Amino acid sequence: MILLCRPFELAEGQSRGFVVDGLKLLLVRRHGEVHAYENRCPHRGIPLEWMPDQFLDHSGSLIQCATHGALFLIESGECVTGPCVGDALQPVGCKEDVEGIWLLGGA
């Protein structure tokens, strides 16, 4: 397991990006749960954020691709609008305990 951050470093409703051994990741905390995905749009294969750690739309309720505006459900990664509707972000195994948020199995 690889430590990504401490629990307090990912606040409710916030997103953060990480790079581990060349693998770009994004984490989002929503309703107390951490959701982890590869930081890669299924449409173009490019990173999603428009600025560092900025992965969410203006409402904070969806992950948004900065390049073409595709929107993804935080809980499942499913694209619900945009050119990749029906596709999904690639989930990444992680777990949280009192010490940190951990990437499972390495990168």
CATH of domain 2-103: 2.102.10.10
pLDDT digits 0-9 by tens, 36-49: 999 999 988 899 99
Over the stretch 52-93, which tens digit does the pLDDT of each residue have? Answer: 999 999 999 999 999 989 999 999 999 999 998 999 999 999
Give the model's pLDDT for residue 5.
Answer: 97
| Contact partners, residue 89, CB within 8 Å, separation at least 6 | 37, 38, 40, 42, 63, 72, 77, 79
What residue ranges do the domains of the chain occupy?
Answer: 2-103
pTM: 0.93
Predicted pLDDT at 90: 97
Looking at residue 7, its pLDDT comes to 97
